Structure 1
């Protein structure tokens, strides 16, 4: 490939196809016809010597080379856009779409205040919430699959702080929370003190984004030489709360999330009989967006929503 003769407009097409994973939607975003997008991809494939994407029943699937190339292309296009476009951002006249990766409990806690902030300014901002499937969203942000990741990411944040100024992912604390042990009302452990022995002897339900039946509670138990029996794993906090209302399983949920379930009255709450670290909900983003005006505006709204959540928080039972 001769870079001097490469039509750089092909990279804009490639970026949108990768973002949408669908030729029709990419064509709509680019104000092009689908045949024109297909033709641009063909020319880029010939230049790069790689298929880049393969068709599927629901759109297109990128090749490994496309996956590796996309973050670099997107970062370069962002830098060009920042250099060419005016530095200001008016949310009432400029449309922007942001993808936020977060768990259902975080979304239920944070989104009401965030939507209110967007609507109150009459912003043309669109938010797309992506289901969180990992405790370490840094690869998502590196690849440009999400604009922000919001949640409790203790290991990822610790790694970022260790990297210091070398980190390509930035983070900011939104609010602090607490986890509590939850069960159905009438459960044998709902009354009286929930001791560590009784906690370990019970059967548990675990919210696990990866599907592994091992979480931070299990790590704390292992440090004490203890274990528990995890009967069921699910990938949503809402599902966990709903299941325990009709079973004898215990689960661990964010205390701030319980009012949003709609069935808080069916649940009994006990303090977790373990010394656990505090839960710190953070927002993470890639440095390529750090000074982009639209991203800065959205980040400020996210932080404001987190601060509103912190002010309205009620203490968890101890």
Structure 2
């Protein structure tokens, strides 16, 4: 491809065709006639050196090359659009919808103060909380399935730091917490200092968004040559808190989440007898949303309430 002579309008057609799956709808979005769109698509295929779409009975099917190109093209077009013709943002017009992915306890911590801020500012935006199913939300953000991810994502953040300014994602620190051991009041271990042997001998409850039977605690134990027995794995902190109040299972939660379980008055918090490091809660978002006025507005308010 000779990029110097490439018509950038072809990339706009490519983006709309990927989004719509129909040349007719893509042409309508761009105020083009269908013959003009068909001719532009041929020019795009010639410029790339291969077909990016295949006609099927249900529309235009993208090739593997098109699927690989789309995230980069979409992000580049969004950056250009925001730089050259930023859309005005008015939080009071009732149009903005923000999709955030986070754990249940994170939402319980951040949403009440965030909504209080929105109410004071008379903002009429809609916030949708999507379930967090992984410690690595990068694909959700890159595929535009969520606008913002909030949580403890150590591997993802480490990868973004290593990529530097060339990354397709951005991140911002919100707050730090720490892991603590949580048990019911009246637990056999409640009345004494929790030792490493006592901890490893007990039965455990693990919170795992992905359903995997190991987490950061198991990794920390493995580093010192120890292990625990996980009896139950759940995907919500609220569920973990409820189960811990009614069983002798131990669970580990970020300290700030204990209150968010709704069962803090029935639970005891103990220091863990080994080091798990800090829990750094971060916001992650796609580079294409970096300069978006509405997204910046929301991130600023999340930073404020998290602080």
Give the aligned CA root-mean-square deviation in angstroms: 3.3
- Number of residue pairs the alignment of both structures matches: 279
Q: Normalization by structure 2: what TM-score?
A: 0.79
Aligned partners of 2:195 and 2:205: how far apart in 1?
18
For residues 11 and 221 of structure 2, the distance between their equivalents in structure 1, rounded to whole angstroms, comes to 58
Q: Is residue 53–residue 66 contact of structure 1 (8 Å, CA) maintained in 2?
A: no
Q: Is 1:276–2:276 an aligned residue pair?
A: yes
Give the drift of 1:208: 0.9
Could you say what secondary structure the match of 1:245 adopts? helix
**Cα deviations by residue, 1:141-172 (Å, 9 ceiling, x for unpaired):** 12111111100111211222222222221111
Note if contact 2:238-2:260 (Cα within 8 Å) is conserved in structure 1. no
CA apart distance, 1:49: 3.7
Mean Cα displacement is larger for which, 141-150 or 69-78? Answer: 69-78
What residue number does 2:209 align with? Answer: 209
Listed as ranges, the gaps of 5+ residues in structure 2 are: 1-5, 30-36, 42-50
Contact preservation (8 Å) 1:52, 1:66: no
Shift of 1:12: 4.1
What is the Cα deviation at residue 50 of structure 1?
4.0
Which SS does the other structure have where 1:220 is aligned?
Answer: helix
Which one is further off, 169-178 or 199-208? 169-178
Q: Secondary structure at the match of 1:105?
A: helix
CA distance in 2 between counterparts of 1:98 and 1:236 reads 22
Q: Computing the radius of gyration over CA atoms, which structure comes out larger, 1 or 2?
A: 2
Structure 1 gap segments, 5+ residues each = 19-26, 33-39, 56-61, 308-318
- CA shift at 1:98, angstroms? 1.3
Of the structure 1 ranges 158-167 and 247-256, higher mean CA displacement relative to structure 2 is found in 158-167
Where 1:178 maps in the other structure, the secondary structure is strand
| Structural mapping, 1:98-109, within 5 Å | 98-109=98-109
Corresponding residue of 1:250: 250
Name the SS of the counterpart of 1:129 in structure 2. strand
Shift of 1:246: 1.3
Structure 1 residues 90 and 155, CA gap change in structure 2 (3 angstroms) = same
Contact preservation (8 Å) 2:203, 2:248: yes
Flag the 1:132–1:49 CA change in 2: closer, same or farther, 3 A: same
Corresponding residue for residue 239 of structure 1: 239
| Distance (Å, rounded) in 2 between the aligned partners of 1:48 and 1:166 | 25
